[in-house]
Amino acid sequence: MASASDDDPRIGDISEGRVLRAILARTAPASHTVLGPGDDAAVIAAPSASVVATADTLVEGPDFRLAWSSGYDLGWKSAAVNLSDIAAMGAVPTALLVSLAVPSDTRLSFVEAMADGFRECCAELAPGCSVVGGDLTVSELLVIAVTALGDLDGRTVVTRAGARPGDVVALAGELGVAAAGLGLLFARFRDGTTPVGVDRSALDAAQQRALDRQLRPVPPLALGPAAAGAGATAMMDVSDGLALDASRLADASDVTIDLSGVALDALAFGGDRGRALGGGEDHGLLATFPAGALPDGFARIGTVIARSGDSLLVDGEPVTRAGWDPYRDWDHSR
């Protein structure tokens, strides 16, 4: 009894093995892969004799909505946000492990599109890195748990804790563009409280770019190792908003960071300084450098000063920490 859906079966109607084969056919081993998927575990090159590792999960509801994100978008974004954390240590991404918990009525084509998103994000942003393993299970909602691995290529790891008074504070990337995209989704693509599909035709070019950056972030991964090579004293991925993340870096380093309002305005999407400070998910790199050492791709946005009562200042004035926290801010709609 053939039917139209035979070409695109539901995950719950086919074997785990068939789903995994379909995924693996779309993820090719890259140069760091010593032993790829298919055994109990994979083996990945770690030429520096250490491995940098991070894990970040996207959950349907707080982290994404299926009305707004395609399978491809979700694969891309799940890869990008993890790769960014590797770059923020000064490391080069070498491998991803992907654990999918998928509702049984999910179409195979959706999972295949996710695999395409993972593959193409790695190929474009982190050549040499690929999906080397993972896990598939059924679940009542879609959960994408990713672990990313990286290698320091002989460099010293750059933590959040090394900033010193006198260092330059610099940023690679934009500020507030992903939050602008999220704002568009909430304002323009809901029918009351329910998300509806995205019709891009009514958006101007800047709005479309904001939407793209929200759904498929493009972190400046190559600049992480470059910053480490240039002597960055501290670095982190800006995922929860610059104000919150810069405060974290300042706290970890026991210093105060004084940002320049003029510099913020220059990098703020749409010139919105509040969104530039509070908007999450931009995945730029915030780093501190000895004066005079700023590498290409980083813009100076402030100065490290001796610790005072406040973690973060803008033009010498305290600013409130604020940021996007899906754990706190989720509206409980999918």
Burial of 63 (0-12, 13-18, 19+ CB in 10 A): buried
**Strand ranges (DSSP E) for 213-292?**
234-238, 255-259, 284-289
Range in contact with its own copies (rule: CB under 8 A) among 66-74, 83-91, 168-176, 287-295: 83-91
Yes or no: say if 300 and 167 are a contact pair by the CB < 8 Å rule.
Answer: no
* Site track for its own copies across 262-301, x = CB under 8 A: ----------------------------------------
Query: Residue 222, interface with its own copies (CB under 8 A)?
Result: no
Query: Residue 231, interface with its own copies (CB under 8 A)?
Result: no
Query: Residue 63, interface with its own copies (CB under 8 A)?
Result: yes
Write the DSSP assignment of 76-102 as a string of letters. HHHHHHHHHHHHTTT-EEEEEEEEEEE
Q: How far is CA 328 from the centre of its chain?
A: 19
**Distance from C-alpha of 241 to C-alpha of 219, rounded to nearest angstrom:** 14
- The nearer residue to its own copies, 259 or 287, going by C-beta atoms, is 287
Please report, as residue ranges, which positions from 90 to 109 form the binding site for its own copies (by CB under 8 A). Answer: 91, 95, 97-99, 101
Q: How far apart are the first and last CA of the chain?
A: 35
Query: Residue 9, interface with its own copies (CB under 8 A)?
Result: no
User: Which of 89, 171, 178, 228 is in the footprint of its own copies by CB under 8 A?
Assistant: 89
Structure token digits, residue 137: 């299970």
CB of 152 to its own copies, least distance (A): 8
**Distance from C-alpha of 295 to C-alpha of 223, rounded to nearest angstrom:** 9
CB of 321 to its own copies, least distance (A): 12
How many residues in the shown chain lie near its own copies by CB under 8 A? Answer: 68
Please name the amino acid found at residue 67.
A
C-alpha pair distances (Å), 190 with each of 14, 162, 215, 229: 34, 44, 16, 45
Query: Residue 328, interface with its own copies (CB under 8 A)?
Result: yes
User: Which of 9, 10, 22, 51 is in the footprint of its own copies by CB under 8 A?
Assistant: 51
Structure token digits, residue 212: 């793209």
Output the CA torsion sign for 135, 139, 150, 225.
positive
Structure token digits, residue 201: 């035709």
Please name the amino acid found at residue 34.
V
* Site track for its own copies across 146-185, x = CB under 8 A: -xxxx-x----x-xxx------------------------
Query: Residue 226, interface with its own copies (CB under 8 A)?
Result: no
Structure token digits, residue 202: 């009514």
User: Which of 40, 204, 296, 331 is in the footprint of its own copies by CB under 8 A?
Assistant: 40
* Contact set with its own copies (CB under 8 A): 15-16, 34-35, 38-57, 59, 61-63, 85-86, 88-89, 91, 95, 97-99, 101, 132-141, 143, 145, 147-150, 152, 157, 159-161, 235-237, 252, 325-328, 330
